[in-house]
């Protein structure tokens, strides 16, 4: 059994000087009801994720995506920050963080009060036109989709991407809407599989790594390069790395400290301990 008290004390000791860069993943949001990708709640995934190539290349793929996403947004849009998000925001308010890089697209860090957040993979609450690049609110799009599909109702298992599993019969007849400005294709303002994170965003994250006194990974399996590269860079720079996740991660070999434990409970205890002790000058 994990000695939670001792582990939290070790985490606090490692992070007490401040300048901590947080790198968060889907495991941080599972306690808000959003399944993860590879952890315990993600093992029941029932649909392949949409790729950028399929999305832009097939009207039927876009119909299926937007029908599934329209259903999934009802749950994502209602999700509330959990104790882990609130603890991260408290650490930021106390001046202990040098930045927050999240791989999540749910906006829950900001909803908890965090300010210095880089959304590595974008956010589901925004929509972008692939032609004119205008960005609009997801709430506005949801209103337009409801108007275009009067009487359409469906339910399905929520996936980590914020979409829901629907049958062909449920998708049939769903109407997709286009950009009101130019008539172009609308896409959620997130990085799909098959896309690259914009280079300036990546460079901004690398700069935060270089400036950090420590890196704290929360709820990420680090199974793909998108997040792992920042841990690899921190290790190359000799920056201490702490990982709190349920299950092993791709960064464990480079970590100074790892803790397999529930995120909300652990981070609440960590924030309580760190914010009660003056930070080092």
Residue 103 assigned to a binding site: yes
- Give backbone dihedrals phi and psi of 117, rounded to 5 degrees, phi first: -110, 125
Q: In the 8-state DSSP scheme, what is residue 158?
A: B
Residue 99 assigned to a binding site: no
For residue 189, the number of C-alpha atoms closer than 13 Å in the C-beta half-sphere is 18
Residue 8 assigned to a binding site: no
Q: Which helix (H) or strand (E) holds 102?
A: strand 97-102
Residue 17 assigned to a binding site: no
- Whole-number Å distance between alpha carbons of 81 and 72: 17
- Whole-number Å distance between alpha carbons of 268 and 113: 15
Helices (H), the chain: 4-15, 52-57, 59-78, 83-93, 108-111, 138-148, 168-171, 199-211, 225-236, 263-275
Residue 30 assigned to a binding site: yes
Residue 33 assigned to a binding site: yes
Residue 104 assigned to a binding site: yes
Give the residue numbers marked as catalytic: 121
Query: For strand 214-218 and strand 241-244, is the pairing parallel, antiparallel, or unpaired?
Result: parallel
- Whole-number Å distance between alpha carbons of 255 and 95: 23
Residue 28 assigned to a binding site: yes
Residue 250 assigned to a binding site: no
Residue 26 assigned to a binding site: yes
Residue 62 assigned to a binding site: no
Residues annotated within a binding site for NAD(+)? 25-45, 103-106, 219-221, 245-247, 263
Binding residues for Zn(2+): 129, 132, 179, 182
Could you list the residues known to form a binding site, using ranges: 25-45, 103-106, 129, 132, 179, 182, 219-221, 245-247, 263
């Amino acid at each position: 059994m994990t000695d939670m008290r001792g582990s939290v004390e070790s985490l606090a000791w490692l992070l007490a000087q401040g300048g901590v860069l947080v790198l968060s993943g889907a495991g941080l949001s599972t306690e808000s009801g959003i399944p993860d990708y590879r952890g315990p709640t993600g093992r029941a995934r029932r649909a392949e994720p949409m790729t950028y190539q399929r999305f832009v290349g097939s009207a039927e793929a876009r119909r299926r995506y937007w029908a599934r996403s329209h259903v999934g947004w009802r749950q994502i849009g209602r999700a509330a920050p959990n104790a882990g998000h609130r603890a991260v925001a408290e650490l930021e308010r106390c001046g202990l963080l040098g930045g927050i890089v999240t791989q999540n697209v749910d906006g829950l860090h900001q909803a908890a009060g965090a300010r210095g957040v880089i959304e590595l993979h974008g956010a589901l609450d925004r929509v972008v036109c692939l032609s004119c690049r205008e960005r609009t609110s997801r709430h506005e799009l949801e209103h337009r989709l409801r108007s275009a599909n009067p009487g359409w109702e469906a339910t399905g298992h929520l996936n980590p991407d914020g979409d829901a599993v629907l049958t062909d019969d449920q998708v049939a007849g769903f109407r997709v809407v286009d950009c009101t400005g130019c008539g172009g294709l609308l896409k959620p303002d997130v990085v799909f599989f098959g896309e690259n994170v914009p280079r300036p965003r990546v460079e901004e994250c690398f700069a935060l790594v270089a400036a950090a006194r420590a890196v704290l990974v929360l709820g990420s399996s680090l199974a793909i390069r998108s997040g792992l590269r920042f841990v690899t860079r921190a290790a190359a720079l000799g920056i201490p790395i702490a990982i709190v996740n349920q299950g092993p991660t791709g960064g464990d070999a480079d970590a100074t400290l790892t803790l397999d434990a529930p995120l909300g409970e652990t981070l609440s205890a960590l924030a309580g301990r760190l914010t009660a002790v003056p930070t080092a000058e």
